[in-house]
Structure 1
C-alpha cells in the first residue's frame, strides 16, 4: 500500500495580508508591516480531498472560523519573508495533520491477573486505613 502524494495548495487559494507586528522590533516595528495574516478557505477548497476537508473542519481549533476559514497569524520573526514562510509551514503542518485518519480504538478488557492485583491493592489499603481508627492518640 503506497502513501498518497502530498497535497499541493495553489497560490490563488491562499490569501495573505501584511500587518504591523506587536512586540520587539526597534524603530522598524512602527513603520514596516512584517506580520502575516494567512487565510485559507478549507470549506470551499477544490484542492483538498473530501475526507481531509471533513477531518480538518471537525477539529476543534480556534484558528478555524465558523465559515471554515483557517486564519494563521505569523509574527515570530522580524522580516516579512520569514513570517510568510513560517505561516506557510504552519499551514502545511495543519493540512498534514488532517491527511491521516485516526486509528480506531480497540476496546480491551483487563486480564484476570490485573483484576486480582487491583483487588489486592484495595484490600491492603483498606487494612491500613482500618488500623488507623479506634485508637486514642493522646
Structure 2
C-alpha cells in the first residue's frame, strides 16, 4: 500500500507500470536500456476515492487523463528504473494529495467608502504633482 493521506492509500495492484526507452541525451545507455517508466492509474477502478476528490483529481490531471479514466505519468529523468519508478509514484501521490485538499470557500467582500475616498484622494494628489511638473504655459 502506498499512503497518500492518513485515510487514503493506493494499492500497488491498481498501478500499471511499463518500462520504455527514454528520450534525449544519454548516449549508449539511452539507446540500449529501457529506464523510463510510464505509470498508469485507473481512477474508475479505484472505488475508495470520494466523489469530490475524484472530480478535483480529474481537473488537476488535465491532459494526463485519458478518455478511459486513466492517469498516465511518464518519468525519465533518472538513469535507473528504480529511481524513475519512485519518481512517477511520488508524482502520482502528490497529484492525488493535492486533490484531497478542499479549496476554501471565497467570501465576497466590499471595499469600504473610506477606502475608496482615500484611494481617489491619493490619485488626485498624484495627478496634481504630475501636472505641476509641466512647463508653465504663457497665455498672452
Alignment TM-score, normalising by the size of structure 2: 0.81
Cα deviation for residue 25 of structure 1 reads 2.4
More strand by proportion, 1 or 2? 2
Q: Does the 8 Å contact 2:19/2:38 carry over to 1?
A: yes
User: What SS does the aligned partner of 1:109 have?
Assistant: coil
**Are 2:79 and 1:78 equivalent residues in the alignment?**
yes
More helix by proportion, 1 or 2? 2
User: What SS does the aligned partner of 1:61 have?
Assistant: helix
- What is the match of residue 55 of structure 1? 56
User: What SS does the aligned partner of 1:90 have?
Assistant: helix
- How many residues align? The count is 133
- What is the match of residue 11 of structure 1? 12
Alignment TM-score, normalising by the size of structure 1: 0.82
Cα deviation for residue 39 of structure 1 reads 1.0
For the aligned residue pairs, the C-alpha RMSD in angstroms reads 2.3
Cα deviation for residue 93 of structure 1 reads 0.3
Q: Does the 8 Å contact 2:18/2:39 carry over to 1?
A: yes
Partners in 1 of 2:135 and 2:63 — Cα distance? 52
**Which runs of 5 or more structure 2 residues have no equivalent in the other structure?**
none
Cα deviation for residue 130 of structure 1 reads 4.5
**Which runs of 5 or more structure 1 residues have no equivalent in the other structure?**
none
